[in-house]
Chains A and B, each alone.
Chain A
């Protein structure tokens, strides 16, 4: 089937490549000429395992092409996926929908045939209904535009497998439309292997994405709040999390205590949810999620405090090493990264902070030019009084602490776990955890 994917960022590019790999003819549209040029050259515009290969494969079979022209997109298909970013607005906690409305309107003006628009971007409840009206107003007379909502649940670092075989597909439709019939056909390869499809109305589908992310954020903050309690009660939070995770009603994913969540989705959707609840006047609700956010922010502050404590309260001019800049291992994404946030705060407190990350250095450097960057983990630690382990890259666990050259009496703050504390202590480090 011919489809377009409007917006080739972290959501759109993997979706376009994944759908092409399922046999569809996909045209990806992005208004940034650099992005389009990179994609046409078979390059992934950001680090994502398997993405470059999927783009190259798509180009080779002819199933995946890219453009910056809305006219071309309108001519290519009658099914258009809207995957432009909806960042947190600068003036508050709502999602910024500027790009979504702009893209929808530009597309609507070019449409010459009745078309289906499927919104994949995370949007607050009610957005698709407004979008449908705006598109209808912008489209040429006689052109019927149907809007469906299908929020995406792909995880960064496994987005291609998640597109090809998602945990579930959620589809919100307008009553009396054709969207379900068309999309069942489009998603047939997924449905055939047992992927559940939940068909509902537009507003419910919109709410699903925010609810899922708010729930995962709640899980992370739950275990982090518990870890502070365990510390006071002299219990072992790692054992506790593992034990309760064996309960099938609880499960063990997203139950690791540590520096908390970050990235573009969890924080943004959590706050978007709080903002929406506040708009609706549902106070009790907002409180739970506000607490979840506070707990998460508290982990970052707690880590900074531990580091300053290790420097006897005098961080000014002191050499500090930071391992990790991306918000989670496996990717180069630094949006709302807890690691970079902690590094920046220590820099602001006067410390001399040197960062190493296996993939996110370029993004980190452009976002935080005030920090120093090292070429490898050992170089970051050279002469440092404190080392903070802030992103759980597996390669950090294989570094031999005896081979490092920190300042005397150096302190390791393991905010992500996974380092062998006996080995580090044996090499002369003092080990602290949150």
Chain B
């Protein structure tokens, strides 16, 4: 099938490469010529495991290319995927301007009937609005919009595209459903994953709902961690014990500094905003309390840090290990780690940050902080070391080596990656967020 993918960001570039990999003839479109050139050289302009191989392979056999030319894309595609970003607007709702912008660029060139398929997370009702817009701009008669939400996780985006847990199709016509079923046959047949069909509004809500649920899980376990710490219980054992219940499960049940990143906070806030607008008080209250707990964990970490360094942060040297919002990626969007580091800085501490992958991004997002090239360098003369992102390599560091660098051997583990007894054996004081040490 001839496919275009509009938007060459994390989602769009991976989706374009994935669709080519399953045998489609794909053009990726982006307004940014630098991104287009980089991708045409077989390189992702962001860090994503296995993506470069996928790009190179499909570029080489001629099933994939990237362009800035919307006219070329419009002529090529029987199906046009919209994979542009929908960031948070100032009021917390999704900013849909990139989506409408893409339709404005694309639709005037559509001379043949085609299907436009949205992948972004949006306000319910967006597909219908985009369809009206596209029909008003396109010379062709039959333009339809369907919704096919993405479920990519950064770090496993390629696998999530090629071997997803499920594919969701929101279509208001049998014809649109059939096109998307055909398009995904290579995945549904080889991988046996379910393809679930629903209406467009429901499909639009799927991603935000799933993210709101995961956010609720994280805040739930963080709240239990607080309680656990107060009664002297062991939150790791507790999470393990309740996670064995199949109705609960183990994933997203690690207490710590809470969630961040480009999706969970954004979707949670947009959802809260929509529920407020629709006057659904129970949903608003639930989502707000989830957010409150999440913010509370960051305050809690700072309070612990302050008391660990003697009650005042002014003039104290603090090493923050971790800047990415989660381990395994270089993304610092709404990163709890960088947020805590920045707040410590504002409260007078001298903060040095180390992250295995996200240093350039962190430096750009928070230039006021100091950065080091290794965890040990960051810890130089520190009064306190904070583990703020759950990189496994922090757990593998030698406590004695680090002890030789710091002023006072105090470590605050907000992610549960440190084996406390090993550090305590090297005379460290180990503090934690919820975890008992």
Question: Within the assembled complex, what's the spacing in Å between the Cα atoms of A244 and B280?
Answer: 21
How far is the CB of A62 from the nearest CB of chain B, in Å? Answer: 34
Which one, A98-106, A208-216, A329-337, A417-425, is touching chain B? A208-216
Q: Does A65 interact with chain B (Cβ within 8 Å)?
A: no
Could you say which residues of chain B place their CB within 8 Å of the CB of A215? 220, 242, 248
CB-nearest residue of chain B to A168: B244
Q: Does B245 interact with chain A (Cβ within 8 Å)?
A: yes
Could you say which residues of chain A place their CB within 8 Å of the CB of B201? 233-236
Q: Does B249 interact with chain A (Cβ within 8 Å)?
A: yes
Q: Does A343 interact with chain B (Cβ within 8 Å)?
A: no
Q: Does B406 interact with chain A (Cβ within 8 Å)?
A: no
Known A239-B196, A243-B198, A244-B209; contact A233-B151, beta-carbon cutoff 8 A: no
Question: Within the assembled complex, what's the spacing in Å between the Cα atoms of A65 and B134?
Answer: 76
State the majority secondary structure of interface residues on A: helix
CB-nearest residue of chain B to A208: B241
Q: Does A222 interact with chain B (Cβ within 8 Å)?
A: yes
CB pair A203–B245 under 8 Å, yes or no, is: no
Could you say which residues of chain A place their CB within 8 Å of the CB of B230? 280-282
How far is the CB of A307 from the nearest CB of chain B, in Å? Answer: 20
How far is the CB of B166 from the nearest CB of chain A, in Å? Answer: 4
Which one, A87-95, A131-139, A286-294, A388-396, is touching chain B? A286-294
Interface hits, B247-267 → A, CB 8 Å:
247-249, 251-252
CB-nearest residue of chain A to B124: A233
CB pair A221–B231 under 8 Å, yes or no, is: no
State the majority secondary structure of interface residues on B: helix
Q: Does B40 interact with chain A (Cβ within 8 Å)?
A: no
Q: Does B224 interact with chain A (Cβ within 8 Å)?
A: yes
Could you say which residues of chain A place their CB within 8 Å of the CB of B151? 247
Known A207-B231, A239-B199, A284-B292; contact A225-B220, beta-carbon cutoff 8 A: no
Q: Does B213 interact with chain A (Cβ within 8 Å)?
A: yes
How far is the CB of A328 from the nearest CB of chain B, in Å? Answer: 14
Provide the B282-295 mask, 1 if CB < 8 A to any CB of A, else 0.
11011001101100
Known A233-B201, A249-B214; contact A291-B280, beta-carbon cutoff 8 A: no
Could you say which residues of chain A place their CB within 8 Å of the CB of B227? 207, 273, 276-277, 280, 282, 285
Q: Does B183 interact with chain A (Cβ within 8 Å)?
A: no
Provide the A231-263 mask, 1 if CB < 8 A to any CB of B, else 0.
011111001101110111111011000000000
Could you say which residues of chain B place their CB within 8 Å of the CB of A153? 245
Q: Does A428 interact with chain B (Cβ within 8 Å)?
A: no
Known A236-B198, A242-B196, A246-B166; contact A198-B244, beta-carbon cutoff 8 A: yes
Could you say which residues of chain A place their CB within 8 Å of the CB of B212? 222, 226
Partner of A229, one of B166, B198, B275: B275
Provide the B211-252 mask, 1 if CB < 8 A to any CB of A, else 0.
011101101100110111011111001101110111111011
Could you say which residues of chain B place their CB within 8 Å of the CB of A126? 231
Q: Does B376 interact with chain A (Cβ within 8 Å)?
A: no
Q: Does B357 interact with chain A (Cβ within 8 Å)?
A: no
Q: Does A230 interact with chain B (Cβ within 8 Å)?
A: yes
Partner of A251, one of B198, B216, B232, B247: B247
Q: Does B74 interact with chain A (Cβ within 8 Å)?
A: no
CB pair A243–B196 under 8 Å, yes or no, is: yes
Q: Does B43 interact with chain A (Cβ within 8 Å)?
A: no
Q: Does A219 interact with chain B (Cβ within 8 Å)?
A: yes
How far is the CB of A142 from the nearest CB of chain B, in Å? Answer: 30
Q: Does A110 interact with chain B (Cβ within 8 Å)?
A: no
Could you say which residues of chain A place their CB within 8 Å of the CB of B223? 277, 282, 284-285, 288-289
The listed residue with most A CB atoms (<10 A of its CB), out of B166, B205, B242, is B242
Provide the A300-335 mask, 1 if CB < 8 A to any CB of B, else 0.
000000000000000000000000000000000000
CB pair A221–B286 under 8 Å, yes or no, is: yes
Q: Does A125 interact with chain B (Cβ within 8 Å)?
A: yes
How far is the CB of B181 from the nearest CB of chain A, in Å? Answer: 16
Partner of B274, one of A200, A212, A233, A289: A233
Question: Within the assembled complex, what's the spacing in Å between the Cα atoms of A402 and B349?
Answer: 75
Question: Within the assembled complex, what's the spacing in Å between the Cα atoms of A153 and B224?
Answer: 18
CB-nearest residue of chain B to A250: B213
Known A211-B224, A226-B209; contact A168-B233, beta-carbon cutoff 8 A: no
The listed residue with most B CB atoms (<10 A of its CB), out of A125, A206, A254, is A125
CB pair A284–B289 under 8 Å, yes or no, is: yes
Q: Does A170 interact with chain B (Cβ within 8 Å)?
A: yes
CB pair B196–A248 under 8 Å, yes or no, is: no
Interface hits, A69-101 → B, CB 8 Å:
none
Question: Within the assembled complex, what's the spacing in Å between the Cα atoms of A242 and B209?
Answer: 12
5 A-B contacts, Cβ less than 8 Å apart? A233-B201, A234-B124, A243-B206, A251-B247, A288-B290
Query: What are the 4 closest A-B residue pairs judged by CB atoms, nearest first?
Result: A168-B244, A200-B237, A285-B223, A246-B166
Residues of B bordering A, CB below 8 Å:
124-125, 151, 165-166, 168, 194, 196, 198-199, 201-206, 209-210, 212-214, 216-217, 219-220, 223-224, 226-228, 230-234, 237-238, 240-242, 244-249, 251-252, 271, 274-275, 278-280, 282-283, 285-286, 289-290, 292-293, 296
